[in-house]
Structure 1
Amino acid sequence: MGTREMFTHFSPSVRACFVISTPMKFPSLWSVAFGAFLVSLLAQCSDYNKMLKSGNLEEKLSYAEAALDSGNCFRALPLYDELMRLTRGTERAPDVHWNRALTHDCINDFYLSRYYFQSFVKTFPNDARVEKAMFRAALCSYYLSPESSLDQTDTRTAIDELQLFMDRYPASALRDSTQNMIEGLRGKLEVKAFENARLYHKTGNYKSATIAMAHAIEDYPGSPYQEELQFLIIDSHHRYAAQSTNRRKLERYNDAIQAFHTFASRFPESARMDEARRLFDSSVQAIAELESDPTTNPANR
């Protein structure tokens, strides 16, 4: 009789002893930990789903606040979405509205966070948090401001909102930080204006370059790019004149000469003065040649 056949003749209790005594393959510690995590996660999901379906307002408020406080903002968001409807017109409404704005801020959804902070100011104008809400709405716009190479619409919006905050709360403890943010945002606009003007110059669109540079100089009088812009105006006028028909050259070389005089008066110690003077001399010489040519100067005919 074989071993397997003999084993079948033992009673169930005896066979169980044989099974227990055989070597067992235990799971790794990592597997145990991961399994425990999954069990915990499923339990939490079950609790969360129950809370979403719950009709108990106080439980939902408590759960949403705990989720927000612990940083589980994606969980808090659907709850506050419902709670805003449930608490509208009640004494709970301001806190729920405020926390809804904070929840969007927590997940870096600054467009909606700004919207809810702004609507908080309009809906609860007498709330003690109005000043902070107005600042945080402007702060969202500050965070939305992109790097200088991109469209600066959000940057301008942020400047306007931060300036409005300072105008409304001139004695605010947040005034200094607000002013620093405005200066940083204006710096982006200065860089953007300079890069746009320089791009026109690089691509050979010299007429547009001179216009863009003149606007940048006027709009940002304290810009560190003033000297470079003023020099590039000379260069742009000179290049534009060289590309022009003889009938237009006289006028455009004169523009280069006038631009040089402005540059020399504003930046007499400029490191680019030698380059600027060469452009000036070249323009003067070109005008002299044009004026002596009967085909371009009717007075010599």
Structure 2
Amino acid sequence: MFLNHMRILLTTLALATLFFSCSPYQKALKSEDVGLKFHMADSLYTVGKYKKALKLMEQVVPEYRGKPQAEKLMFLYSDTFYNLGDYYLAGYQFERFSNSYPLSEKAEEAAFKGAKSYYFLSPRYSLDQKDTKVALEKLQEFINKYSNSTFIADANQLVEELTHKLEKKEFEVAKQYNRIFDYKAAISAFDNFILDHPGSEFREEAYFMKFESAYQLAVRSIENLVEERLTTAKSYYESFKRNYPESKFQAEAETILEDIEQRIDNKQV
């Protein structure tokens, strides 16, 4: 009985091995026919079998360089990396495609997907934003070159998201200075943020935090610097009030202002 089971198992394994070794995909992989490999890769790409398609493409890409079929192959090759989520290679390959085939009917799509690949590489705001800046640069290049593109709305949306991420990064850095009691650095950082990002959703809070940081710096200063710094803080309040007369931070700002005025009055008595 045991031997019969073993024979059945071995026969099944042998048939499975024969089946897979003889599948069209396996034949294409082992074949010397680059045309067959290209055709199979194209078919697999079309049905979303990107990993299998990529293995074949990697075998034939060097063989098609300089040939008429290379344009289609290189777009498929780039897009396969994109669909597999390998955005470093997708961005690189799409950029190569755009440079090699600037007149291709796929040039616009390649430029957009190449730029979007860098968007996908952008990390969360708390990390280094080098890739975010590269993505913004690539997206802006696309927008400038293809201003009437069907992808333009998507590109603008991606730019908006990445810009917001950079703003949040800078704003949180400024707030961190405030949290660790480095009020001079906080004031400078908030000031730069206000100048650099006039349309930011964080601008109102930046004005308030600049004022609050100046107040904290003043009350923690040595005696002969307190009054001068309180006066400076009060000027920051006036700037905040002028720009945001109905701010959600108004009540807190008024409380701080009252303390500033009381301290200044006491100094002057």
Is the Cα–Cα contact under 8 Å of residues 110 and 144 in structure 1 kept in the other structure? yes
Distance 1:233 1:205 in 2: 12
Q: Answer with 211-220 or 131-140: which moved more.
A: 211-220
Distance 1:237 1:258 in 2: 10
> 1:171-216 CA deviation, whole Å, 9 max, x = no partner?
2222222212211222222222222222221222212211221222
Is 1:151–2:128 an aligned residue pair?
Answer: yes
Runs of 4+ in 1 over 6 A off after TM superposition: none
Tell which structure's C-alpha radius of gyration is larger.
1
State the 1:288 CA deviation: 4.5
Is 1:52–2:29 an aligned residue pair?
Answer: yes
Q: Which residue of 1 aligns with 2:188?
A: 211
Match of 1:134 among 105, 108, 111: 111
TM-score where L is the length of structure 2: 0.86
How many residues align? The count is 265
Distance 1:67 1:252 in 2: 70
SS at match of 1:120: helix
State the 1:113 CA deviation: 0.2
Distance 1:287 1:76 in 2: 75
Identity of aligned residues (%): 31
SS at match of 1:90: coil
> 1:26-70 CA deviation, whole Å, 9 max, x = no partner?
9xxxxx9xx79x937971697655433321011111121122223
State the 1:81 CA deviation: 2.0
Is the Cα–Cα contact under 8 Å of residues 121 and 130 in structure 1 kept in the other structure? yes
Is 1:99–2:68 an aligned residue pair?
Answer: no
Match of 1:118 among 83, 95, 118: 95
SS at match of 2:217: helix
Is 1:227–2:204 an aligned residue pair?
Answer: yes
> 1:100-139 CA deviation, whole Å, 9 max, x = no partner?
1011112100010010000001111222211111111111
Distance 2:160 2:184 in 1: 30
Is the Cα–Cα contact under 8 Å of residues 71 and 101 in structure 2 kept in the other structure? yes
Q: How does 1:143-222 map to 2 (within 5 A)?
A: 143-222=120-199
Q: Which residue of 1 aligns with 2:55?
A: 78
Distance 1:45 1:195 in 2: 59
Is the Cα–Cα contact under 8 Å of residues 234 and 279 in structure 1 kept in the other structure? no
Q: Which residue of 2 aligns with 1:9?
A: none
Task: Give the gaps of 5 or more residues in structure 2.
Answer: none
Is the Cα–Cα contact under 8 Å of residues 162 and 182 in structure 1 kept in the other structure? yes
Letter in 1 for 2:212: D
SS at match of 2:201: coil
Higher relative contact order (CA 8 A, sep 6+): 2
SS at match of 1:148: coil
- Output the aligned Cα RMSD: 2.9
TM-score where L is the length of structure 1: 0.78
SS at match of 2:73: helix
Letter in 1 for 2:225: R
State the 1:271 CA deviation: 3.2
Task: Give the gaps of 5 or more residues in structure 1.
Answer: 1-21, 27-31, 293-301
Distance 2:251 2:104 in 1: 63
Q: Which residue of 2 aligns with 1:280?
A: 257
> 1:10-41 CA deviation, whole Å, 9 max, x = no partner?
xxxxxxxxxxxx9xx99xxxxx9xx79x9379
SS at match of 1:269: coil
Is the Cα–Cα contact under 8 Å of residues 214 and 232 in structure 2 kept in the other structure? yes
